[in-house]
């Protein structure tokens, strides 16, 4: 592995922890950079807020202290690294460059980066890490807005997605949003999302049925969580958003993100309005995400399908045959979407689409599932 220590400042977390607490188990950069081995996860703090249109300075957070106090799960056995802090560079592009290099190197070693930010435009730096590896990527944002922005607009926390879409080549295959609040989205953004066959699960839909959001998390490579999508009253904030996710909901989303075999990076951004409660909740979000990773079942249906029940449904109105798989391990469902043979293995990880049993039941009623149709259009 390349030397990543050049990008980091060491942390200063001190304390006495018992052998069950994370502070005892974490391999942290306390001045001596940890030797990173394959198959683990790494915490990275990036206090870069220049992408936020509101000037933010001198953010002081104790989320690490709160995290280190928490007890490790009984079944946890992967290496947990705390690599330290990537301080802002001379320009915003310098910070993006540093984070992208770190993400790319960790991904190559199957070490999952957990990034606590600054402004949400750092999602682009995470994406750049995948781009360096020439890997198609699905992004899922947990956010009250779509953060699309205009093509000629400077990159910012609430206008970064267009910067990804304009890349050539563009390795973004799909983008999904969970938690959208309609007052924060314009008609043109909706129209573009529809044209690109991207996915939206509105906050109201999520509150009525969590199952509508779970396939989007399972389909993602990169999760980008906007901390301001959490209801302000949950965090003792004076400002913030009056509507949003409850604390237990955001932890549930984090755990399901970790459970997904496909997710390889996780970012938590726009963490600037710091309170004691928000530090504790941030630590718990990270904890639940890790608990999800440690309890993965490895049942993403790629390669042999012998451990799955296979169901074939012919949808008469469209003339399409849809193949469903149900995991024997977790009872989770997927759909297989055909793609042009000339593309080779390019779409191997993207033509198997997570779904719910409800999608199978709707197909039996002669309705093509929305997720299947959108994926089919992108592949075609």
Both 267 and 336 in one domain: the answer is no
Residues 6+ apart with CB under 8 A from 4: 33, 36, 83, 101, 102, 105, 106
| Residue where a domain terminates, one of 269, 294, 319 | 294
Predicted confidence at residue 82, as pLDDT, reads 98
Both 278 and 322 in one domain: the answer is no
Residues 6+ apart with CB under 8 A from 180: 143, 144, 145, 146, 200, 201, 202, 203
| CB atoms near residue 53 (< 10 Å) | 12
Both 207 and 332 in one domain: the answer is no
Q: d(Cα 79, Cα 34) in Å, to the nearest integer?
A: 11
Residue 239 in this model has a pLDDT that exceeds 90: no
**Helix, strand, coil in percent for the chain, rounding step 5:** 35, 20, 45
Both 187 and 284 in one domain: the answer is yes
Both 267 and 316 in one domain: the answer is no
> Residue 137 domain-assigned?
yes
Q: What is the pLDDT of residues 191-205, one digit of tens each?
A: 999 999 999 999 999
Number of domains in the chain: 2
> Residue 302 domain-assigned?
no
- Decide which of 14 and 17 is more confident: 17
Q: What is the pLDDT of residues 60-107, one digit of tens each?
A: 899 999 999 999 998 899 999 999 999 999 999 999 999 999 999 999
Both 279 and 171 in one domain: the answer is yes
Q: Give the burial string for 126-161 (b: 16+ CB within 10 Å, else e).
A: bbbbbbbeeebbbbbbbbbbbbbbeeeeebbbbbbb
Residue 117 in this model has a pLDDT that exceeds 80: yes
| CB atoms near residue 207 (< 10 Å) | 13
Within 13 A of 77's CA, how many CA atoms are on the CB side?
3
In three-state secondary structure terms, 196 is coil
Both 276 and 373 in one domain: the answer is no
Predicted confidence at residue 267, as pLDDT, reads 98
My answer on whether omega of the bond before 169 falls inside 30° of 0, hence cis, is yes
Q: 52: domain CATH number? A: 3.40.800.10
| CB atoms near residue 326 (< 10 Å) | 17
Q: What is the pLDDT of residues 320-358, one digit of tens each?
A: 899 999 999 899 999 999 877 655 556 767 888 999 999
Both 173 and 206 in one domain: the answer is yes
> Residue 303 domain-assigned?
no
As given in the structure block, the two tokens for residue 296 are: 């993965």
Both 31 and 145 in one domain: the answer is yes
Structural domain including 266 reads: 5-294
Both 207 and 344 in one domain: the answer is no
> Residue 84 domain-assigned?
yes
DSSP one-letter string for 237-296: -SSS-SS-B-HHHHHHHHHHHHH-SS--EEEEE---S--HHHHHHHHHHHHHHHHHHHT-
As given in the structure block, the two tokens for residue 63 are: 């989320």
> Residue 234 domain-assigned?
yes
| Residue where a domain terminates, one of 244, 272, 294 | 294
| Contact call for residues 120 and 224 (beta carbons, < 8 A) | yes
| Residue where a domain terminates, one of 267, 294, 321 | 294
Residue 21's alpha-carbon distances to 33, 48, 63, 72, 74, in angstroms, are 21, 29, 15, 6, 11
Residue 279 in this model has a pLDDT that exceeds 90: yes
Both 47 and 189 in one domain: the answer is yes
Q: d(Cα 268, Cα 116) in Å, to the nearest integer?
A: 5
> Residue 172 domain-assigned?
yes
Q: What is the pLDDT of residues 286-332, one digit of tens each?
A: 999 999 999 999 888 876 677 899 999 999 877 889 999 999 989 99
> Residue 269 domain-assigned?
yes
Residue 214 in this model has a pLDDT that exceeds 60: yes
> Residue 287 domain-assigned?
yes
Both 183 and 140 in one domain: the answer is yes
In three-state secondary structure terms, 166 is coil
* Mean pLDDT value of segment 158-171: 91
pTM: 0.95
Band of pLDDT at residue 21, cut at 50, 70 and 90:
very high
């Amino acid at each position: 592995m390349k030397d990543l220590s050049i990008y980091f400042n060491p942390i200063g977390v001190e304390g006495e922890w018992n052998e069950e607490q994370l502070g005892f188990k974490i391999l942290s950069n306390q001045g001596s950079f940890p030797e990173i081995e394959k198959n683990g996860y790494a915490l990275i703090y990036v206090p870069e807020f220049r992408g936020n249109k509101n000037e933010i300075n001198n953010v002081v957070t104790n989320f690490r202290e709160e995290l280190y106090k928490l007890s490790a799960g009984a079944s946890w056995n992967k290496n947990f690294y705390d690599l330290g802090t990537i301080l802002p560079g001379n320009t915003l592009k310098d910070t993006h460059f540093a984070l992208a290099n770190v993400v790319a190197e960790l991904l190559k070693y199957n070490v999952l980066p957990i990034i606590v930010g600054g402004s949400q435009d750092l999602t682009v730096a995470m994406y750049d890490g995948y781009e360096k590896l020439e890997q198609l990527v699905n992004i899922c944002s947990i956010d009250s807005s779509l953060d699309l922005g205009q093509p000629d607009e400077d990159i910012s926390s609430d206008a970064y997605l267009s910067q990804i879409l304009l890349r050539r080549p563009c390795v973004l295959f799909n983008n999904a949003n969970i938690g959208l609040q309609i007052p924060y989205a314009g008609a043109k953004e909706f129209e573009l999302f529809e044209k690109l066959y991207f996915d939206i699960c509105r906050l109201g839909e999520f509150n009525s049925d969590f199952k509508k959001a779970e396939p989007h998390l399972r389909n993602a490579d990169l999760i980008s969580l906007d901390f301001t999508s959490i209801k302000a009253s949950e965090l003792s904030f004076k400002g913030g958003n009056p509507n949003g996710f409850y604390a237990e909901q955001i932890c549930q989303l984090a755990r399901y993100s970790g459970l997904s075999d496909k997710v390889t990076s996780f970012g938590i951004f726009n963490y600037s309005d710091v309170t004691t409660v928000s530090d504790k909740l941030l630590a718990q979000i990270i904890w639940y995400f890790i608990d999800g990773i440690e309890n993965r079942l490895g049942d993403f249906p790629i390669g042999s399908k012998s451990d799955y029940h296979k169901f074939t449904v012919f949808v008469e109105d469209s003339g399409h045959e849809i193949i469903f798989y149900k995991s024997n391990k977790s009872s989770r469902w997927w759909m297989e979407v055909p793609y042009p043979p000339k593309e080779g293995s390019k779409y191997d990880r993207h033509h198997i689409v997570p779904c719910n049993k409800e999608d199978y039941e709707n197909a039996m009623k002669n309705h093509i599932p929305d997720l299947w149709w959108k994926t089919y259009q992108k592949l075609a």
